[in-house]
Amino acid sequence: MPVPLVHPQPDSRNSSNTDPFILYSRSVHDYTLRLWAESRKLAEEKARARAKDAALCDARRLERNTR
């Protein structure tokens, strides 16, 4: 059975006939999404660090109370 030839479709996001406002809007959206993702990553790292510090403090407190 012959394999049908597939011709790649041009990327409509970067097409030369796309409205400049749409291209700008997509660029702003992509940039904002990257900023949001980076801020979430940093917030999660901070939360993990705080949880780790709290666990260490609790362990030390428990250790002192059992002496």
The tens digit of pLDDT for each residue in 7-60 reads 555 555 556 789 999 999 999 999 999 999 999 999 999 999 999 998 888 888
What's the total number of domains in the chain? 1
- Looking at residue 51, its pLDDT comes to 94
pLDDT value at 6 more than 70: no
> Is there a contact between 13 and 26 (Cβ–Cβ < 8 Å)?
yes
- Domain hosting residue 29, numbered range: 23-65
Q: Name the band, by pLDDT with cuts 50, 70 and 90, for residue 63.
A: confident
CA 38 to chain centre: 6
Does this model's pTM top 0.85? My answer is no
In a domain, 11, yes or no: no
Inside any domain, residue 14:
no
Determine, yes or no, domain membership for 7. no
The token duo for 20 is 């400049």
More reliable by pLDDT, 33 or 65 = 33
Residue 31 included in any domain = yes
* Domain contains 17: no
- The conformation of residue 11, written as its DSSP 8-state character, comes to -
Residue 58 in any domain: the answer is yes
